[in-house]
């Protein structure tokens, strides 16, 4: 035999040399839940190993993120006050704004991303304003733009609208530019499916809808061509980065989107993916280190330039130690 593929697998050194997919800590983003208050450091039962932090406790996890040289932090706020218009989300002294200011003051080298949505801040748990019992797209856009502006003025490097309203990127880009924030990036959740894999997140952030579901604005899991339309729309409206969410169940969509846009594409390995791997590992059914690494490789192999994952810190440590 002249061609023997196994020659390229003969040792770890050869496998490392010829690997088609390569990961780096700088491509990782770690999602963090920030709860309003002080001296809060509490476990999230549905996501073992993850915690909620009050803004004053945030430096604990930021220090580890900076040490591990990860690409960025994605902040989700959990306010004490909720109402129908999500007013806490654009309060200049709100929990997310406090978190952004502390993060940039203490660790200016970290890229700080603010999640722009209303579900954690509304009394009804939906991602937009309610009109006649439905989420009203167009009136929601102005609120989303106000939230993004408030986060950018607090110091966020990137704002990430996760609401799935039509036209959200254009509304946010216009608001930022009108306020001389032309350098603030938009990382849009352009392709976000109405997924059952978000369950643990909703416990962590207290964002479950009080009625109905989100299927009228988040995407139908049966559709993939629609993802191209959503992604291109957001790119044309000014998104600098787009997200495909969830991760592992949508690798085909990730690959298709990557082939059709000319901006960096992120894959979000969501809470349900994390909790499944964590639960199976705690029960001794899976090797946690190996499955988290394989999952990260698979999303990168499918086309992810950026990987948003609750395993970001561990993955970065493996990479820095030459184990991944």
Q: Cite the active site residues.
A: 192, 245
The Cα–Cα gap between 38 and 35 comes to 9
DSSP string, 73-125: EEEEEE-S--BTT-GGGG-TTSHHHHHHHHHHHH-TTSEEEEEE-STTTBSS-
Question: Does an H or E element contain 276, and which?
Answer: helix 271-282
DSSP string, 149-203: HHHHHHT-SEEEE-S--TTHHHHHHHHHHHTT-TT-EEEEEEEEB--GGGHHHHH
Beta-ladder partners of 242:
188, 265
What Rg value do the Cα atoms of the chain yield, rounded?
20
């Amino acid at each position: 035999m002249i061609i023997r593929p196994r020659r390229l697998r003969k040792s770890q050194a050869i496998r490392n040399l010829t690997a088609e997919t390569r990961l780096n800590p700088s491509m990782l983003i770690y999602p963090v839940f920030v709860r309003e208050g002080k001296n809060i450091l509490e476990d999230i039962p549905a996501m073992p190993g993850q915690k909620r932090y009050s803004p004053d406790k945030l430096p604990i996890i930021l220090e580890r993120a900076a040490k591990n040289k990860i690409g960025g932090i994605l902040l989700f706020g959990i306010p004490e006050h909720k109402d129908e218009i999500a007013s806490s989300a654009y309060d200049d002294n709100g929990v997310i704004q406090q978190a952004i200011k502390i993060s940039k003051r203490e660790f200016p080298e970290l890229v700080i991303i603010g999640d722009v949505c209303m579900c954690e801040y509304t009394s009804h748990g939906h991602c937009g304003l309610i009109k006649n019992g439905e989420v009203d797209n167009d009136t929601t856009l102005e609120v989303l733009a106000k939230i993004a502006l408030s986060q950018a003025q607090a110091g966020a490097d990137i704002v990430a609208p996760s609401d799935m309203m039509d036209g959200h990127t254009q509304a946010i880009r216009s608001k930022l530019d009108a306020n001389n924030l032309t350098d603030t990036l938009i990382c849009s959740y352009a392709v976000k499916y109405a997924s059952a894999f978000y369950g643990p997140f909703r416990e962590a952030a207290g964002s479950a809808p009080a009625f109905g579901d989100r299927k009228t604005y988040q995407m139908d899991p049966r559709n993939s061509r629609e993802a191209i339309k959503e992604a291109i729309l957001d790119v044309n409206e000014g998104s600098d980065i787009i997200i495909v969410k969830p991760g592992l169940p949508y690798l085909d969509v990730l690959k298709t989107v990557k082939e059709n846009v000319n901006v960096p594409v992120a894959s979000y390995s969501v809470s349900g993916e994390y909790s499944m791997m964590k639960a199976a590992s705690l029960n001794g059914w899976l090797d946690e280190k190996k499955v988290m690494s394989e999952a990260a490789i698979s999303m990168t192999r499918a086309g992810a330039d950026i990987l948003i994952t609750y395993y970001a810190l561990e993955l970065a440590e493996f990479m820095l130690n030459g184990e991944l």
